């Protein structure tokens, strides 16, 4: 008797949520009879926890290191009782809505810690057991590669010798950038040269994930590494080499980063390893950034955020703002006749000019259009006439020149070349 069904449902349901996005849903309950209930509340929280045990050789007892970090906690009552204090019989449906904060990390499940976001509904039953229903959501915090330090060209160079091997092994791997987005087909170039006397059994390119867990006790940390992607390059005979020419390396669907998290650090490394049968391996690695927003090409339009939900949209053309509008000149918008140089051969008639004129004709009162080359020549001839060439080019130019406006002698600043006749000083204008 009482509540036979109590369920929390997210509508619309999404596989991934982003910071700043709304999380909506409903709490549905079926009561076969009236039941005493204090309230029906919905709690939305996000937090991170870290915990691991460390057993030392001198002590059989394990030491537990742990830490926690809350990000937010929202709570609201979707139903409250009236004076009777009873939940009526029948079907009930209560909507709720929360908004994710902006400065939160992505969801993460590690070996010694996690970051989780949970929506939980509780019916507080009086003189009975509470009814609960919870749902976990996945949050992805976008990481823009353009804003990181991964814009340089990737390069792995390592030359080393292995034990019992005469001669070095050279590793050279290059890529376009030090980062890539999830799901990208990353192109790799390089060469593995074996100058030793032993065969390189296998050469593998790894994408390695390193998670560092921090504890608040004694400032101790725990490092966990695992390989999330590998690419088999092949074996190399003694004195031989193997090359890579734009070999595709697919970036898997992994958590890009743990920004805004203080108790866990997440990094990725691109590592190449040359393995021998019975000798030490030769390897080299560099840090690699995995993001969700690709690099912005130089000169391209920044439309990378258009596919993200709840992303800011560009303002409409008729949008009014507090900034004054810039007035632009439109031919025909003034009562005065425009000058002749506004009429170009490729420009159509003004808005005030009647459209009944035949194509190519000139309205009454307007001069004939002048071709652009002739117009430029006339302007340069009238305004930019240079002084005549000196009859004695080997002699130094005069130290003074007559002003174009007042014809007074003015000292020249630059005495190495003849002065243009249109230049003058502001004092005589």
In tens, the pLDDT along 248-288 reads 999 998 998 898 999 999 999 999 999 988 778 889 999 99
* Average of per-residue pLDDT across 163-187: 87
In tens, the pLDDT along 107-133 reads 999 999 999 999 999 999 988 889 999
In tens, the pLDDT along 185-220 reads 999 999 999 888 888 899 999 999 999 999 987 678
Q: Whats the size of the chain, residue-wise?
A: 429
Model pTM score: 0.65
CB 205 within 8 A of CB 288: no
Whether 358 has a pLDDT exceeding 80, the answer reads: no
d(CA 140, CA 183): 15
d(CA 363, CA 219): 86
pLDDT at 189: 93
d(CA 43, CA 316): 38
pLDDT at 423: 43
At residue 282, the 3 state secondary structure works out as strand
Structure confidence at residue 401 as a pLDDT band (50, 70, 90): low
Q: Where are the extended beta strands (E) located within 300-411?
A: 400-402, 409-411
Topology given in CATH for the domain delimited by 145-291: Immunoglobulin-like (2.60.40)
Considering only residues 380 and 226, tell me which one the structure prediction assigns the higher pLDDT.
226
d(CA 381, CA 389): 16
In tens, the pLDDT along 11-20 reads 988 999 999 9
- Evaluate whether 3-137 and 145-291 have a shared fold: yes
In tens, the pLDDT along 300-324 reads 444 444 444 444 444 444 444 433 3
> Please, which residues have CB within 8 angstroms of residue 332's CB and are 6 or more apart in sequence?
338, 350, 351, 352, 353
Taking alpha carbons only, the member of 47, 92, 89 closest to residue 261 is: 47
Taking alpha carbons only, the member of 182, 383, 349 closest to residue 268 is: 182
d(CA 196, CA 170): 10
d(CA 359, CA 348): 9
pLDDT at 316: 44
Give Cα 351 distance to the centre of its chain: 45
Give Cα 183 distance to the centre of its chain: 15
Range of 166-175, 295-304, 359-368, 397-406 with top mean pLDDT: 166-175
Whether 328 has a pLDDT exceeding 50, the answer reads: no
Taking alpha carbons only, the member of 160, 195, 154 closest to residue 173 is: 154
Structure confidence at residue 398 as a pLDDT band (50, 70, 90): low
Whether 247 has a pLDDT exceeding 50, the answer reads: yes
DSSP state of 306: T
Q: What are the structural domain ranges in the chain?
A: 3-137, 145-291, 368-383+398-429
Domain 3-137 in CATH 2.60.40.640: yes
pLDDT at 263: 94
Structure confidence at residue 296 as a pLDDT band (50, 70, 90): confident
CB 236 within 8 A of CB 23: no
Q: How many CA atoms lie within 13 A of 241 on its CB side?
A: 12
């Amino acid at each position: 008797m009482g509540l036979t069904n109590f369920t929390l449902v997210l509508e619309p349901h999404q596989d991934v949520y982003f910071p700043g996005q709304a999380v909506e849903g409903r709490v549905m309950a079926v009561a076969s009879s009236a039941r005493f209930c204090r309230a029906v509340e919905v709690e939305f929280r996000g937090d991170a926890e870290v915990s691991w045990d460390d057993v030392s050789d001198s002590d059989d007892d394990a030491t537990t290191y742990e830490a926690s970090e809350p990000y937010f906690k929202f709570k609201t009552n979707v139903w409250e009782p009236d004076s009777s204090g009873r939940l009526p019989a029948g079907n009930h449906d209560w909507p709720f809505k929360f908004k994710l904060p902006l400065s939160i990390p992505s969801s993460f499940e590690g070996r010694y810690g996690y970051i989780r976001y949970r929506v939980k509904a509780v019916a507080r039953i009086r003189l009975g057991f509470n009814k609960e229903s919870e749902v976990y959501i996945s949050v992805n915090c976008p990481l823009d590669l353009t804003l990181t330090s991964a814009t340089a060209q990737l390069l792995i160079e390592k030359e080393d010798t292995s034990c019992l091997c005469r001669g070095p092994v050279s590793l050279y791997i290059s890529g376009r950038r030090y980062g890539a987005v999830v799901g990208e087909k990353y192109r790799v170039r390089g060469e593995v040269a074996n100058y030793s006397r032993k065969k390189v059994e296998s050469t593998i390119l790894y994408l390695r994930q390193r998670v560092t867990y921090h504890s608040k006790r004694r400032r101790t940390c725990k490092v966990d590494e695992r390989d999330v992607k590998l690419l088999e390059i092949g074996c190399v005979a003694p004195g031989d080499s193997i090359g890579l020419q734009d070999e595709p390396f697919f970036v898997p669907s992994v958590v890009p980063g743990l920004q805004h998290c203080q108790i866990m650090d997440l990094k990725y490394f691109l590592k190449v390893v040359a393995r021998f049968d019975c000798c030490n391996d030769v390897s080299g690695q560099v840090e690699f950034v995995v993001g969700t927003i690709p690099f912005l090409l130089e000169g391209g339009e920044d439309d990378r955020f258009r596919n993200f939900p709840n992303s800011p949209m560009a303002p409409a053309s008729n949008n009014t703002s507090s900034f004054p509008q810039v007035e632009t000149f439109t031919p025909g918008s003034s009562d005065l006749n425009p000058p002749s140089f506004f009429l170009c051969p490729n420009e159509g008639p003004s808005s005030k000019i009647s459209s009944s004129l035949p194509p190519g004709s000139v309205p009454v009162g307007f001069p004939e259009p002048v071709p652009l080359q002739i117009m430029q020549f006339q302007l340069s001839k009238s305004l930019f006439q240079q002084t005549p060439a000196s009859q004695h080019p080997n002699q130094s130019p005069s130290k003074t020149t007559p002003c174009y406006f007042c014809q007074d002698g003015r000292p020249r600043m630059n005495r190495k070349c003849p002065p243009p006749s249109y230049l003058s000083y502001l004092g005589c204008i």
